[in-house]
Structure 1
């Protein structure tokens, strides 16, 4: 006959087993999480392979899902192709929903198709993220991350992680290495098209009242050309380092001007900066913004900043994780570059004489941040 004591003992044993099970499960899940982050880079490796081989473009050009062999037959410069390697790459990318699979009838052969994600890695289209992906996953951009711990120990007085890795800062290297400069510019142009489309759609009233606009750090003019195409009344200046604008194509309504934004900025109704300030420290940004303030009218001028507004932890907006990832990349690449919260932006504006600001969310990774002198 079960006594009260034995019942208590049985419950104690059950509770202990439950506690042990929970501890074991938690320990196992912790291990799984570390393995996950240890190997997370392999997703980028697989996607880079698909972009380099133009797998998405091959499928798109045929207008229908294709077999592995058909994809392989259409890969350029493949004298001795290996279908087993391609299968393993595609297997990963199907799991990540970059590509889809279908069974052909009646053979049952697996065919690979496009998804909403793979349409953004088409290299033969205007709206693509492929060049930016190849830039961010190039060894020149990946290797500096291995020096971040050194920067934490030593600071950055002797250079950023990028400098410790390559012996030059990022923007200096673009002037020294033509191939890197080309890779960098192609990445900037593709994101300019995507972001500019969202900016133009989300800032119609803002551009309508501007007669002159300077794009500071505008690269080879890709972003500005989209704005001027949509608003041809704007007289525009694409302003960047001399070696950058030297390779810029001619655009109607745009004048290319070489210079240094830390020295002075051409005057206009408004200053436009897309993904510029996040590359620089607060001290650098203060210099840039003060020069912007000098370049615009005290009463009617404004600065239009297209940059990320880092959200507090706990928010669930669709680009939040990407914002934190960009902050990590900036940690490796730039002298004090970082993504900023709204409070960070507010402080910068107060330090540089901009008494009012406004944040406009658009359908893209960054937001539009307007800053006004009065």
Structure 2
């Protein structure tokens, strides 16, 4: 069957306007969209704080607004009309589903997205939601243009906002430290499953492994569970490891990765190097180079490999995280393959390998020979 291509442009979405006027209106809508998208983030934060997904999940069926309100915990006088407006946004964004019951009530159910904000489960992004949308993390974005104009000589956007750098804030504010650690740790389980699936035999020959910047040890605990022959060392700042739980097969060591790194067969660095400038990363990687055997050692990096022109599922999220680093860290950034190649060349790793996995991050192996 012959296909005839039309020479006519698709009909305008607006009535009685010229093509030029339509383009102007569409451009206006785009700006309105990005101007107001923050409201989606705060609606998401609200439903996480109210544990709406968990309420629906516990009942194992879609619930009406009345049923959701009746199950809110520690909420003496909830306003269902205001919650309706929040849920309307969340349905529009497909965080929850909505369907009419036989009686005409709207019943709200879980979607593939809302299952990721459940808090009564090990597989969750809820702590990350609460971290990233917390005022401590959001307010520094108001200083982005100042940083463009002046650089970071007078401090990062985070410092200008709070009077502390991000990691200093964690050391002086116990509540933020707890929020930060939980936000970082919640990704460990499902990201590591992607690592196992994509890396399979990568840990088999390793007897001793150091997790540099390992936080409270969540990543190392997953590795040792999967590879019980490995002796794990969880390495982070003293105030971080002081709150770490005990794990079989893991030793917690406090220290400074810019000074030295404990010796081992291999080094594991998950989502750490993107926080730091090239100069800082050179120091860290040189210390890693000294800590591993010359012939058999390797550094296993779990981080973004940014492709600004890419169209892979996680590309836009990587670009968004680059903006988060812009506001929070001095010199921190998401790196392209060329950026990684530069770091390896400067730190004595002549060979590297990038392994794509089904996760936000990629595996990057760096070898000393």
State the TM-score, normalized to the length of structure 2. Answer: 0.95
Alignment partner of 2:62 out of 41, 60, 65: 65
Q: What's the CA shift for 1:108?
A: 2.1
Q: 1:192 aligns with which of 174, 188, 196?
A: 188
CA distance in 2, matches of 1:32, 1:312: 24
SS in 1 for 2:228: coil
Selected match of 1:24 from 21, 24, 27: 21
| Residues 173-208 of structure 1, C-alpha deviations (whole Å, 9 max, x = no match) | 111000000000000110122211211222121011
Partner of residue 140, structure 2: 144
Query: What is residue 236 of structure 2 aligned with on the other side?
Result: 240
Aligned to 1:201: 197
2:13 maps to which residue?
Answer: none
> Whole-Å Cα distance in 2 between the matches of residues 245 and 41 of structure 1?
34
Counterparts of 2:105 and 2:34, CA distance in 1 = 34
Which deviates more, 191-200 or 355-364? 191-200
TM-superposed deviation, 1:326: 0.1
2-structure distance, mates of 1:166, 1:81: 33
Deviations 1:228-261 (CA, angstroms, capped at 9, x unpaired) = 0000000010000000000000000000000000
1:356 aligns with 2:351: yes
* Alignment partner of 1:45 is 2:54: no
Aligned residue for 1:91?
88
Instruction: Name the structure with the higher helix share.
Output: 1
Mapped contact 2:352–2:364 kept (Cα < 8 A): yes
2:362 aligns to what? 367
Match of 2:311 in 1: 316
Q: 1:153-176: CA deviations, max 9, x gaps?
A: 111112111111110110011110
What is the CA deviation profile of residues 61-119 of structure 1, one whole-angstrom value per residue up to 9, with x for unaligned ones? 000000000000000122111111111111111010000012222x1211000000000
SS of the residue corresponding to residue 63 of structure 2 reads coil
Q: Pairwise mapping of residues 145-164 of structure 1 onto structure 2 (< 5 A)?
A: 145-164=141-160
Name the structure 2 match of 1:110.
Answer: 106
**Distance in 2 (alpha carbons) for counterparts of 1:216 and 1:342:** 21
DSSP-derived class of the 2:18 partner: helix
Q: Which position in structure 1 is the counterpart of 2:14?
A: none
SS in structure 2 of the partner of residue 203 of structure 1: helix
Cα root mean square deviation, aligned: 1.0
Match for residue 214 of structure 2 among 200, 203, 218: 218
The whole-number CA distance in structure 1 between the counterparts of 2:78 and 2:231 is 52
- Asked whether the 8 Å contact 2:308–2:319 carries over to 1, the reply is no
The Cα offsets for residues 305-334 of structure 1, whole Å up to 9 and x where unpaired, read as 000010131x21000000000000000001
Q: Which runs of 5+ in 1 are unaligned?
A: 1-19
Match of 1:252 among 244, 248, 252: 248
Q: Is the 8 A contact 2:208 2:266 kept in 1?
A: yes
SS at match of 1:101: strand
TM-score under structure 1 length normalisation:
0.93
**Which 4+ residue blocks in structure 1 deviate beyond 4 angstroms?**
none
Counterpart in the other structure of 2:263:
267
d(CA) in 1 for partners of 2:167, 2:196: 28
Shift of 1:274: 0.3
Q: Does 1:333 align with 2:328?
A: yes
Q: State the match for 1:284 in structure 2.
A: 280
> Per-residue CA shift, 1:9-34, capped at 9, x if unaligned?
xxxxxxxxxxx711100110110000
1:347 is matched with 342
Q: Following the alignment from structure 1 to structure 2, what is the Cα–Cα distance between the partners of residues 308 and 101?
A: 35
| Structure label with greater radius of gyration | 1
